[in-house]
Amino acid sequence: MVYQADPQRYQTMDYRRCGDSGIKLPAISLGLWHNFGDETLVETSRQLLHRAFDLGITHFDLANNYGPPPGSAERNFGRILQEDFLPWRDELIISTKAGYTMWDGPYGDWGSRKYLISSLDQSLKRMGLDYVDIFYHHRPDPETPLKETMRALDHVVRQGKALYVGLSNYPADLARQAIEILEDLGTPCLIHQPKYSMFERWVEADLLDLLQEKGVGSIAFSPLAGGMLTDRYLDGIPADSRAASGSRFLNADQLTESKLSRVRQLNDIALSRGQKLSQMALAWVLRDNKVTSVLIGASKTSQIEDAVGMLMNSQFTTQECEAIEAILQQGE
Ligand SMILES: NC(=O)c1ccc[n+]([C@@H]2O[C@H](COP(=O)([O-])OP(=O)(O)OC[C@H]3O[C@@H](n4cnc5c(N)ncnc54)[C@H](OP(=O)(O)O)[C@@H]3O)[C@@H](O)[C@H]2O)c1
């Protein structure tokens, strides 16, 4: 059956301005790192995208290497886009990135002009797009001059292959330099994509303040710590979960008793607020307006529904903030 987007899709989502730019992002964005590669049925991926867009999630985040195998998430997304989403292309913010290993030899990785421009061309082909909305440098390159990497980002915008550019995984000092180079080149940095959740708080030291000072937006990836900050692992490791999948990013070793004890205590607070832990964890990342959007992953449409349901209760009392902080301060 031909997909028809839900006419009610803009009724409930909150759209937040991305830094000082003209763009607003949905409070919740969907990442395609997992569940869009060739190991997932394309119909499952399709359902996730339909449900997300029907709930007002207008931003889909990809990278050259998402899969497995690398490149397959972009290819599968491109297929679904061509089959279902073409009438809505102008309602979507589609991002991709380059920075991790993508092909053999010295030009398939890191941050050279050669790699970034070739990689974006490949991404556009895989997705069947003329341009992406945001092109990111995925991780800092300790060897390539920062100016070369930023000039490559500026170049793809001037070529019309990306509308905006962003940085990911850049520490604050390097982010400041990169943002200033981009400013000088006349292509402002739209957004920074760092890892941020209740369990991963490095951005609070200086990055979020820097981004506010510079008028750059932010999108927090893995806000549920890959699923740890949900009720998924309260009673063991379900067979269909990420931790059971052999992932090196989330496995049984990381689900320590001390972490699970904090998860249980956080879960109790979430229940007392009348919501799920996943919802409270997302609301917490968005709590003080320093973060523009939370970038979630999902293996089931119900998880996307949970995330959007968070918007019904996204405020915290001082007592709740203090109780959460006390739990997060409990060490390993
Ligand atoms: N820039 C970077 O370097 C970088 C790195 C990593 C990720 N990212 C981006 O961030 C996106 C999200 O990353 P992530 O997948 O790690 O994010 P996450 O939101 O922290 O974790 C998502 C996983 O949590 C579980 N989950 C989600 N909602 C749930 C719910 N309501 N109840 C129970 N379990 C739930 C699901 O895992 P199950 O499979 O167990 O169901 C889901 O796949 C990626 O797709 C990518 O776009 C960027």
Cα separation, 58 vs 52, whole angstroms? 8
Backbone Cα Rg of the chain: 19
Cα-Cα end-to-end distance for the chain? 50
Question: Which residue has the CA at smallest separation from atom 31 of ligand 1?
Answer: 303
CA of 31 to the centre of ligand 1 (A): 7
**106 pLDDT exceeds 90?**
yes
User: Residue 26's beta-bridge partner residues?
Assistant: 15
Q: Which of 85-99, 130-144, 230-244, 294-308 has the lowest mean pLDDT?
A: 230-244
Cβ of 29 below 6 Å from ligand 1: no
Task: Name the percent of the chain lying above pLDDT 70.
Answer: 100
CA of 219 to the centre of ligand 1 (A): 13
- The per-residue pLDDT for 247 is 85
Do 71 and 105 touch, CB atoms closer than 8 A? no
Do 297 and 250 touch, CB atoms closer than 8 A? no
**1 pLDDT exceeds 90?**
no
CA of 302 to the centre of ligand 1 (A): 14
Q: Can you tell me the mean pLDDT for 120-140?
A: 98
CATH 3.40.50.620 assigned to domain 15-328? The reply is no
Q: Can you tell me the mean pLDDT for 268-283?
A: 98
Q: pLDDT tens digit string along 288-321?
A: 999 999 999 999 999 999 999 999 999 999 999 9
Cα 323 to chain centroid distance, Å, stands at 27
Question: Which residue has the CA at smallest separation from atom 45 of ligand 1?
Answer: 31
Domain range annotation of the chain: 15-328
Cβ of 232 below 6 Å from ligand 1: yes
Cβ of 293 below 6 Å from ligand 1: no
Ligand 1 mutation target, pool 28, 47, 202, 230, most atoms within 8 A of CB: 230
Question: Interhelix angle for 257-272 vs 277-285, to 10°?
Answer: 90
Cβ of 61 below 6 Å from ligand 1: yes
**332 pLDDT exceeds 80?**
no
In terms of pTM, does the model score above 0.95?
Answer: yes
CA of 180 to the centre of ligand 1 (A): 31
Question: Which residue has the CA at smallest separation from atom 21 of ligand 1?
Answer: 226
Cβ of 59 below 6 Å from ligand 1: no
Cβ of 74 below 6 Å from ligand 1: no
- The per-residue pLDDT for 252 is 86
Q: How many CA atoms lie within 13 A of 86 on its CB side?
A: 9
List of E strands, 276-328: 293-296
CA of 114 to the centre of ligand 1 (A): 31
- The per-residue pLDDT for 331 is 74
Cα separation, 8 vs 6, whole angstroms? 5
Cα separation, 210 vs 173, whole angstroms? 9
